[in-house]
Structure 1
C-alpha cells in the first residue's frame, strides 16, 4: 500500500509562477530521506488565501486519504500569512507542542523565530503540520518534530510509517 502525504505550499508568488517552489520540494526531499515506507506526495501550490488553504487541506485529508499534510509558508505575522488560521479552522484537535518545539529549535539559529506561528492539528485521520518557508528551516523543524509523527499517525488510526533509522528514528513507546 502506498501512503499518501499532502504537501501544500502557500505562496502568492510561487502559485503565480513568479518563482519556483523550492520549499515544497524541500519537504518532499526530506520525507524521501526519512521514510522507507512506500509513499506518494499529493502536492499543491496555492496562493496565501485562507479559504484556498482550507479547501486544499480538507480535500487532501478527506478525499485524498492523506495521513499527513505538511504545509510551508504563511506562518509569519504579515497580513497575508494565514496558514495557522486555516489549520485551526479545519482541525478538530490542535497539537500545539509541534509549534512550540519548532520555534524552540529555530531560536537556536535566528532570533526572528519568535515571529513564527506554525502549529499542528488533527483532521479526521490526518495530522496537519505547518512549517516555515525556508528550506533550511524546514529541515531543522522536521528533524525536531518528525520522531513523534509516526506514533501520532498510529494513534489517529493512520498507516504505519517506517523510517530510515540511519537518518531519523521514530519514537514509539514499548509495546506500541
Structure 2
C-alpha cells in the first residue's frame, strides 16, 4: 500500500441540492478520511433523483476514474430515498459484505442503524458504498471503512499484493 486513494463524496439530498439546507454529512465523510492516503478528489450534491444519482456515479467511475465513491443520504424508507436503487443500477459487482460490516459495527452505537438500506459494489475499478444521511452516521461509517478502503482500491486497480496483516 502507499498509493493515494482518490475519493469522491456524493451527498444526496433534495434540500441541500436546492440550497435550503447546508450539507454537513458530506463534510463529515471528508473529515473522517482526512490525510494520507486519501485525497478527496470530487465532491458534489445532487437531489434524491435516481437518474441524477446514477448518471453522477457512472461519470465519476467511467470518466473520472475515482477509486472510492462514498455517498451519503437517501438510504432510509422515505419515498424519495432511492440511493440504493440508483447505486444497484450502476454497479457491476455487488459487495453486500461491506454493507453488512457497516450494519454490524453501526448498530453497536445506535439501533437505528438497522433502518439504513445502503448498497455497495464495484463498477469497473471503482468501489461505491452508500452511507447514511445523518452527519454522525456518515462520519462513523467512513471511519469504520477507513482501514479497508486502501486495500479495496488496490484490489480494484489490480495492484494488490496479498492480504495486509492486521
TM-score of the two chains, using structure 2 as the length reference: 0.89
Match in the other structure for 2:26? 24
SS at match of 1:122: strand
The count of residues paired between Structure 1 and Structure 2 equals 162
SS at match of 1:79: coil
Shift of 1:26: 0.9
Shift of 1:39: 2.0
Q: Contact (CA 8 Å) 1:103, 1:114: kept in 2 or not?
A: yes
Q: Contact (CA 8 Å) 2:25, 2:139: kept in 1 or not?
A: no
Q: Measured at CA, do residues 40 and 139 of structure 1 come closer, stay the same or move farther in structure 2, by a change above 3 Å?
A: closer
Match in the other structure for 1:15? 17
* 1:127-152 deviation per Cα after TM superposition (whole angstroms, max 9, x unaligned): 00110011211222122222222111
Match in the other structure for 2:132? 132
Q: Contact (CA 8 Å) 2:5, 2:150: kept in 1 or not?
A: no
Q: Measured at CA, do residues 115 and 3 of structure 1 come closer, stay the same or move farther in structure 2, by a change above 3 Å?
A: closer
Match in the other structure for 1:74? 74
Match in the other structure for 1:106? 106
TM-score of the two chains, using structure 1 as the length reference: 0.84
In structure 1, stretches of 5+ residues that fail to align are: 161-171
Shift of 1:112: 2.0
CA distance in 1, matches of 2:4, 2:25: 23
Q: Contact (CA 8 Å) 1:68, 1:126: kept in 2 or not?
A: yes
Shift of 1:47: 0.3
